[in-house]
Amino acid sequence: MQLSQTDLNLFIVFEAIYREGNLTRAAEQLCLSQPAVSNALARLRRTFDDPLFIRSRQGMLPTPVAENIIGRVREALQLMSSSLTEGTVFQAAQSDKSFRINMSDLISAMILSPLVQAVTREAPAVHLESYHIPRGDLLRDLASGAVDLAIDAPVLSDPQLCHLPLLKERYVCMLRKGHPLAGDRLTLDDYLSLQHIHVSSRRTGPGYVEQALNNMGKSRDVHLRLQHYMIAPGVALASDLALTAPLRLVQAYDAQIYELPFALPELELHLYWHKSRDKDPANRWMRQLITDQAQDQM
C-alpha cells in the first residue's frame, strides 16, 4: 500500500466510525450519507485487507488492526488540521470558537469563574465547555480533538502529551462561624476531635488526609463522604462538620479558616494538551489565558 495511491479522506471516515461505533452516527457527524460511509469503509477494508469493524449488539467493534492504527491516524489528522492554521494569528476578539476543557468539579470551582470573566473580556463570542473525563479516556479525547485542554494533577505521563505546571494550593480546615471549637488556632487534638467531611471520587479508600494522619499513627472521624466538592462548603456552613480543602475553594465563604496542624502535600495542578496542537494559535491563546488566570489568583 502506497500513500500516493490512498484517498486520505478515508481515514477521516475511519476515525469517525471508531469514535461513534455506529455508521449512521458517523455519517451524521461527517455530513455524509450512510451509503457513502459504507462505501468508504469497504474501500478501507480492501486497503488493509481486514474488516476493521465488526457489527455487534454494542455497535461497530474495532478489530485488532483498527486498534493498532487508530492512535497514529488520529495524530496524523490532528497534525493536518493544525497545519491549516500553523503560522496564523488567532483573532480572539473576532472568534466564535468553542474550547473544550477537561477539569473536575474542584478545579472548576477554583479556576472557571475567573477564566470565564477573562474570556468574556477578551473574546466575547468564544464559548467554553467544561467536562470531567476519566483519565483512562483523556489521551484518546485529546488526540481526537474531542477535548482541547485538560487540567489535572501531575499524574499523566505520555509522550503524546505536553504539559506545564499551573498552580499549587495548600489545604486548610474550614469551620462555620460560631462553631464550638472556633478559636484563634486549631490544634491537632482539636482537629482529631472534629467530625469531618471527606470528598473523593472513589466510593472507598483513604485520601491524602488519611494517609498523612496514618503516617503519624492518627486517624479522624469521617462523618460524611461526598463525591463532589461543590456541595461540601455549604454542608460545613450548615453543620458542625469540618471540611479540609484547598484554600482557593473555601476562602470565598464566610467561615473560619484554619491552617492545618499537620503537614499535608499541596494540591498541584498541571495544564495538558496534545503535542499535535502545541503550535496551534487558538490552543496557545487559551493556554496562556488559563495560565494567567491561575497565576493572578495566587
Sequential pLDDT tens for the chain (298 residues): 555 566 878 899 999 999 999 999 999 988 889 999 999 999 999 988 999 999 998 889 999 999 999 998 988 887 777 666 555 678 899 899 999 999 998 898 888 989 999 999 999 999 999 988 888 888 888 988 889 999 998 888 888 899 999 999 999 999 999 999 888 889 999 999 999 999 987 777 778 899 999 999 999 999 999 988 889 999 999 999 999 999 999 998 999 999 999 999 999 999 999 998 898 889 999 999 999 988 876 5
The helix (run of H) or strand (run of E) holding residue 288 is helix 281-296
| Furthest-apart CA atoms within the chain: distance in Å | 77
**Cα distance between residue 50 and residue 289, in whole Å:** 45
What is the torsional sign of CA 149, 75, 158, 162?
A: negative
3-class SS at 184? coil
| Domain's final residue, options 45, 61, 85 | 85
CB neighbours of 266 closer than 8 A, spacing ≥ 6? 168, 169, 170, 171
* Contact assessment for residue 248 and residue 297, using Cβ atoms and an 8 Å cutoff: yes
Give the single-character DSSP code of 3.
G
The pair phi, psi for residue 11, each rounded to 5°, is -75, -30
- Asked if 282 and 163 sit in the same domain, the reply is yes
**Cα distance between residue 150 and residue 131, in whole Å:** 9
The three three-digit cell numbers of residue 110, written as one number: 477554583
- Asked if 160 and 291 sit in the same domain, the reply is yes
Q: What is the pLDDT of residue 163?
A: 93
Nearest to 242 by CA among 188, 298, 165: 188
pTM of the complete model: 0.68
Number of domains in the chain: 3
| Domain's final residue, options 32, 63, 85 | 85
CATH of the domain at 175: 3.40.190.10
Q: What is the pLDDT of residue 57?
A: 87
Note down the domain range covering 118.
92-167+268-296
